[in-house]
Chain A
Amino acid sequence: MITEKKSDRKVTILFGKVRRAILTVLFGRTEEAFYLRQIVRTTGFGLGPVQRELKQLTESGIIWRAVRGRQVYFQANLDSPIFPELKSLIVKTAGIGDTLRAGLASIADYIKIALIYGSIARGEEGLRSDIDLLVVGDIGFADVVVNLQAAQKILGREVNPTVYSLDEFRAKMRANHHFLTSVLKGPKIYLVGDENELRRLAAKRLARRA
């Protein structure tokens, strides 16, 4: 019998790092085919380990391999008997980012930065961990919550957003607000905006201070 504690271990236990990264790319966008160099670049792992994993995954029938001209492509095998289960597993674990991005899509124009922090960003989540979200923009907490309702259902996880207006974000950064600085120091997964955008907001803060 699986005990409560074991079932709540971090999900990385299911796959090795490289395999998990590859499955996240291929099962995150199952309608797309990726060539080897793309996969290497996106996952950030070396060519050797990525090739080894791709070979095993292809042989098992979980993904398929196609040659077009000089390029070799890989794609999730939609005909695999375990495709739906695997896809759902990836979405609920590693595919969190894509699911939340889709949820935020209709309000993304009002958002400067949206990022995941906490246990999920650190890759230390249990199967029940909440998703901690930081949002900066011209948008209310309630709008973010309402737009992420569907994503919460798909993921089977609670999303906990903290929403700042631009002015409040800058003021709190100026004041070295404890929560904000500790979040920004830790690992992050960007959903809207990126490190550059964040730096730009921080730079404005410095310009004001000067």
Chain B
Amino acid sequence: MSLGDWLRNGWLVEHETSLQETIELLRIADRDLKECRTVGLSEDWRLAIAYNSALQSATAALSAEGYRATRDGHHHRIIQSLAHTIGADAGTIARLDGFRKKRNISDYERSGAVSDQEAKEILILARSLRKRVGDWLKKNHPELLHE
């Protein structure tokens, strides 16, 4: 399935992005990569912040292609869309989706069920995703990065 099919399924809507929007999304992604390393934060917060960075990067790529995810399950959809935007492999998407579920749980069920190991892993994943999206934008949508 392509993003066009997703649009027809109602999973996405068309969206016209801008230089400002892309820069803002990437700025938040960068900010969160930094803030999740704030000393003294609990593991579940570190995970949630690094996850948010990854989500902003993925959103930047999706909006550069002219779409945004509709409300139902939109985090899941944004993560899956990475296969169609930056060409992420199934393993990377499965990993990121695992952290999405993990973050949902730590929100309302079991705070404390996030390990330091997991917080470190999502940071590495989010950092590499930010870089990949940046490189991909430079190559495919340079107009969204420079005035």
Q: A160-B105, A164-B117, A165-B117 are in contact. Are A142 and B112 (CB under 8 A)?
A: no
Verify if B101 is at the interface (C-beta below 8 Å from A): yes
Verify if A125 is at the interface (C-beta below 8 Å from B): no
Q: Nearest chain-B residue to A162 (Cβ)?
A: B113
Tier of interface size on chain B: 10 to 19
Partner of A145, one of B94, B113, B114, B116: B94
Q: How far is the CB of B2 from chain A (nearest CB, A)?
A: 24
* Cα distance A178–B44 in the bound complex, in angstroms: 14
Interface string of A126-159 (1 = CB under 8 A from B): 0000101000000011100110010000000010
Interface string of B56-98 (1 = CB under 8 A from A): 0000000000000000000000000000000000010011001
Query: Are B94 and A146 in contact, with the CB atoms below 8 A?
Result: yes
Q: Nearest chain-A residue to B96 (Cβ)?
A: A142
Query: Are A179 and B113 in contact, with the CB atoms below 8 A?
Result: yes
Query: Are B118 and A141 in contact, with the CB atoms below 8 A?
Result: yes
* Cα distance A164–B120 in the bound complex, in angstroms: 11
* Cα distance A163–B117 in the bound complex, in angstroms: 7
Partner of B115, one of A132, A158, A160, A164: A164
* Cα distance A201–B38 in the bound complex, in angstroms: 31
Contacts from A to B (Cβ < 8 Å): 130, 132, 140-142, 145-146, 149, 158, 160, 162-165, 168, 177-180
